[in-house]
Structure 1
Amino acid sequence: MDPNETIRLLILNDSRSEAERLISMLNNAGRPNRAQHVDSEERLGKLLQEQTWDLLIAHDATDNVPPQNAIRQIRRLNRDVPVVLLTDDSSSASVVEGLKLGAADVVRLDEDQHLLQVIEREMENRDQRQQRRIADRRFREAERRSQALLDSSRDAIAYVQDGLYLYANESFAELFGYSDKDDIDCLPIMDMVADKDQKHLKQFLKNFTLKGDDAESTKVEFEGVKHDGSTTHVSLDVARATFDEEPCIQFLARARAADTSEELEAQIAQIKWQDLATGLYNRQYMVEQLEKLIGAEGRNQSPEASLLYIDIDNYADQVQAAFGVAGADMALSDIAALLRENTQEGDLLARFGDSAFTLLVPAIKADAAVLRAEKLCKAIEDHIVDVDGKTLQLTASVGISLINDTTSSAESAIEQAVSAMEKIRAEQGGNSARLYEPAMSDAEKKERDIMTDVQHALDNDRFRLLFQPIINLRGSDDEYYEVLLRLLNHDNEEVSPKEFLDAAAKMDVSHKIDRWVILESIKMLSQHRSKGNKTRLIINLSRQSLCDESLPPWLGVAFKAAKLPSDAIVFQASEVDITNHINAAKAFAESLKKLKSCLSISGFGCSLNPFNVFKHVELGFVKVDGSFTQDIQNNNENPDALVDMIKQLHGEEVTTIVPFVENASVLATLWQAGVHYIQGYYLQEPTKSMDYDFNMES
């Protein structure tokens, strides 16, 4: 990265002062920049379309433009803009989540030296990607020019491998009396050699091949057999060559001098590039012009263009069935005239296939291209096609691909436009326009589906509660259940929290789900206790709820309204959430104590110093991580580590719970260690009701 190069920077941050600090930091570090503070998605889309940007720096918790939405916009507009996220979170979880979203890196807030190194790396990476794209375009342009020279050369040229023609140009085809060069592809050489010379030519080619790279250019002469069976004397220059990255032999027959008028050349060119049925340019011309546009020097500095792929809906069923083959050409000519009326100066319109047209529009932004395509759809829909008095109204689907500094070839641009068009057909049946967007990965699709299920569950009350008993090993009469949450998807199948809670956190709806669980639990517990039961529940809370200062007052109101003693419910949060938000956890535990409830910690024992939490947060229950029990039951670990942990927990005067008890083999160890409560499928799997018989454990 050139230290004097100006960084074109987008900043997503709710705090404008923080954006100004970033800009000042870059300036002080000798990194000149031109930055824009973005405060809305609409503004972001406009900036991405109107200008070229090198980098986007976003705070991972910004509300105005969530980072995932910004990354989605960049992908949608096919921009090469790396995203660097800043985070307040000191854990690795934020880094992992940021990288999953598609960020290039995640940097702790205020770690400016780290950020500078990341910026320098991403700028260098972007420069390398740009240089690679430019090299790819130049290579493709060189290939295209070489191919064009071969195709149009008056010299007869062919490439041969293993006795077959890989390629022959028109002049070579004419030399042997073929009307189309494609007729020679993969044809055996000996089919075009007189019988008397075949042995001689076979020996010549064998000797030439054996010499390998040392073979020098030479000549060979033989009696050739034309397509019509007549013969002609052929003299060819023979040389080693490479075609389509394959080693082969080149045949070359020099053309005889001939005079061709400029007028005739122009007529030939017109015929070559024109579609006869519509009078528009043909596919070959469009592809060539598209390659020229993409391969132009300074492409990344010029305004972006768009390729519109316009395909008539139900062409075979409607047009060909109604008018026949000849009438269908007349109908297409009519549509072509309509499209021509809707072109502007600088546009390039071509017939691209049986029912497809392409429109190359220069200097147009993404939103404007979509609007243009929608107007074309409307114009075609409103137009009446008249063929010999028979009328028909048609519709079309228009796929759009953006041509900009990320576009490497005409082929990729066309494929993207066709893909967008096909997606319209699949999802809407046609008569619409769509901008190409990169396909989501399987993981992204799964996450999207789960997010849809979560929102549907919130809107339609599709969550369900299950209850798993927690049994006292010390002979107490206490009855505890842990409340477990399930989600019912569109297929009425249960989805476990492991799949949907992460999605809920990203959607910022975890606190809503927690409050639904709390209210439903209070309602069901009140009904259960009204029958004389002294049952208590343990309810899990998300990080959002743990840090929500408004939750404790809300709980007080909820308990009072249900006439339920607040000590009937214990609230539980994970070790990760409590240790990562120690101050919030401390405040929440103190608030629960005032309500005569308490806070429990789950997944205990996985951090480097798990007992440090007791210095800051008052806990009533500690549920150790289930991996300890599983390892003992699977004979992967001796019980000493768990036993030692339980003894230390006794010193903290907390109530211990050991989950994932799957068989009786571990019970003696847990009882001897002094564990207070156990939980697991050995006792009972989670059920829809609180129906466990605690008396049989007495």
Structure 2
Amino acid sequence: MNHAMPRFLNTLIVEDSDDDTQLLVRELREGGYEPVFTRVETGAAMRAKLKQQDWDIIFADFTMPQFNAFEALQALHEAGLDLPFIVVSGTIGEDRAVLAMKAGAHDYILKGNMKRLLPAVERELREARNRRERKQAEQTIRRMAFYDLLTDLPNRSHFRNQTQQAVQAGIQEGRPVALLMMDLRRFKDVNDTLGHRCGDQLLQQVGARLRAAMFQNDMVARLGGDEFGVLLPGMAAISDIEIVARKILSTLEAPFVIEDVPIVVETSLGAVVAPEHGTDADILLQHADVAMYHARETGANYSLYDPTHDPHNPRRLALMAELRQAIENDQLQLHYQPKIALATGGMIGAEALLRWQHPKTGMIPPDQFIRSAENTGLIKPLTDWVLGTGLRQCSEALASGALRHLAINISARSLHDLRFPNLVGKFLKASGIAPEKLMLEVTESAFMVDLQRTVETLAVLSHMGILISIDDFGTGFSSLNYIKKLPVNEIKIDKSFVSDMTSNENDLSIVRSIIELGHNLGLKVVAEGVENKATLDSLAALGCDYCQGYYISRPLPHERFKDWPGHASGKT
């Protein structure tokens, strides 16, 4: 007799014999369960019960006068439920048992030999729980691909795709489409003064007000940080933009009350019109950003894009000319950020991060020149320099095993070049480093332009033995759909989810889901942006494999990186 606390089990029994039902219930009770059961013996009764309440498990006799196990399985499938289904019968033979399993039954038990009942119940309840958890993780990832989980608004990727579709439809129908971009002035002051929790609440309230102010066909999205976008696909005339802009400004005039503190929000709003200001979503977003920046600089609340206000073209050309000289004149540097194994605290790899030491303006971060380098074709010599320098500087550590692998970020432009694998092979051969010592990090945005070519290039690289990592996982486009098609070794959780996971339940849930999903797909999972011990401990408890961040070490110049202790000391 099992004297442990009984485990309640909502049990649906498809059976025409009350005696056999009681035998089954007694066996379950002997095993420590307390079945809360209902017996049915017709298809109509079973379908009604499936609709009325939730069930943990279903037991079914194989053959009854008015019903059988195959019909019961069909009723279960029609209800769209994934429940453990065990056939318990005294008449089933091996052939029919196989047919029942093929039809969807999870196991079968002979009434004359109930010894297998309890192990089968334990196993199938556990498997059902695992299936539920996997499904929840996949649903979370799917939603992350299109929606911002803080505000429940569409994210940047979804907004971009809808903008492109709206513009194409507008061109075909001969009507304008407008896009507005706005940010919150001094939002950083709210975070610094009241804390990130209050900042998150402010973003949620701003998003809710914007959504309530727009028409049904308009799209409001959170583009990132304190930036929001509004898509107006049904404009009658260009003059309507200013009306909408004033409506938005009026909607945000009243103070927001966050934890009894009234907060007045001021905004900078930029607007563009397609096709006048562009027909490509990325160009329109860039021009809207220019207009928003102009509004901020001039103190205006609203600004329509004007090419004369766009400083990008001449500045970009000048900067790219200087970048070409920087590559030739050795003004570039690589810094290395250690990546540790959470289980041991030991260093397993490092990420190479590019820095530009400009002789006049000082250190220029990569986000100020990488995109322009991609657009002008300078990304190829820049990638050559990073690959050659990184493998050369780390060759000794990689060869000795002190460093298991070196991770280098690769742009979409490189992945769309079918000659790129040969280039990588030449650098590996020149440095004498084995392919499995090199990991290439790719952002999900690389898949958006040319998925087929990206997959082909990654397949060749993987076949060479090179490791592949998906960077900023969860912030890109259709993460779950593409990750299954790619020869990937690891995924890196974006730091935007990691930084607040110990204080934000949404972020914690996202991190947990990504770790579970990665492990279900047989991948290693890395957390970026670990800045304190609490985050490190939480990631370890969730079973995350690796991590990197300022708590472990800041990115270090090569000379300092060579002497790094290789453990999570917390020193920077």
Rg (Cα) greater in structure: 1
TM-score by structure 1 length?
0.37
Between the two structures, name the one with larger relative contact order (CA 8 Å, sep ≥ 6). Answer: 2
TM-score by structure 2 length?
0.45
